[in-house]
Amino acid sequence: MPANKTIADLNWNLLRSFCVIAEEKGITRAAKRLNMSQPSVSLALQRLEEQLGCQLVFRGSRHFGLTLRGQKIYQECAEIFRGVERIGALTGDRNDEEFGELSLSIISALHSPLLDEAVRLFHQRHPSITWRIEVQNSAETVRRITQDKAGIGICLLTKPILGLECRHLFREEFSVFCGAEHPLYGKTEIDIRDLQQEPLVAFTCATDGMGLEPMLMLREGFGLGQRISGSSHDLGEVRRMIACGLGIGILPAVAVAEEVEQGQLWPLQLADQPLGADVFLVHSSQGVLQPPEQMFVDLLEELMNLYPDML
């Protein structure tokens, strides 16, 4: 049988009818499933065979059967319609898909299972939203959000700030550290008076007079930093200067655990005087959050209620 039309002109309804004929193993049962008359189904099969130029079903036998070509064509057709069903399922799942960008300002080297899970779950729920994470100290983040009345950030603060929505997330533990060549390296009992005489490597944001960084509170609370031997806004550079012996310094304990294990840094423990600072999620109380920002704030709240052990 010569093909009258090209493959591109195939009628999808004819292919669908043939698939049902093959699956029901007969024209009568296929007609019932398709809610069509038996002659209409027979005609659809005949028209498809004419278009393809080959016989698909054996005729004149008591038992239904596909020709070899018919079996191969059925397998291809079945895969096509399974793909169509998958497309339908995907479009149904994505009717409420969100697009856009989520911009987040965050302090450097923050270790947080809560934040990690929030980022993972947010992307899983909203894969079409892109992320832009900018590392800033808390003073810069607070200044930007206050001026722009927009954006969200994760900061270290001594207390909530007027004009900002400040949601307490968790407390980050700090320690005073020295490098391997420092005279106090290896000592387990440290008197605070010994530390007060030592030069300090500080974060720039704790020396610029803004008063927003807990580093400043921690320093002043223990009387440290009477002489500043080095400073940087970057945690990695502060860590480097301490390890190189420029002085002691206050660092997040988790962020430098590897350097402590390798012997580059030593924690100077102060008995009964734990160091810590509170981590807050902040945004303007006067502005309106963008949809991706609001969804992220809501997700953090959801996780904090479900998994308080993450805090």
Q: Are 88 and 35 in contact (CB under 8 A)?
A: no
Query: Is there a contact between 108 and 236 (Cβ–Cβ < 8 Å)?
Result: yes
Tell me, what DSSP letter sits at residue 244?
Answer: T
Indicate if the pLDDT at residue 3 is higher than 60.
Answer: no
Q: 7-93 maps to which CATH number? A: 1.10.10.10
231, 202 contact by CB (below 8 A): yes
- The encoded tokens of residue 97 equal 């898909």
Which tens digit of pLDDT belongs to each residue from 87-138?
877 666 554 567 889 999 998 778 889 999 999 999 999 999 999 999 888 8
- Write the class of the CATH domain 101-311: alpha beta
Sequence ranges of the domains in the chain = 7-93, 101-311
Task: Flag whether the pTM goes above 0.75.
Answer: no
CB distance 292 to 129 below 8 Å: yes
The per-residue pLDDT for range 248-292, each reduced to its tens digit, is 998 888 889 999 999 999 998 876 666 778 899 999 988 889 999
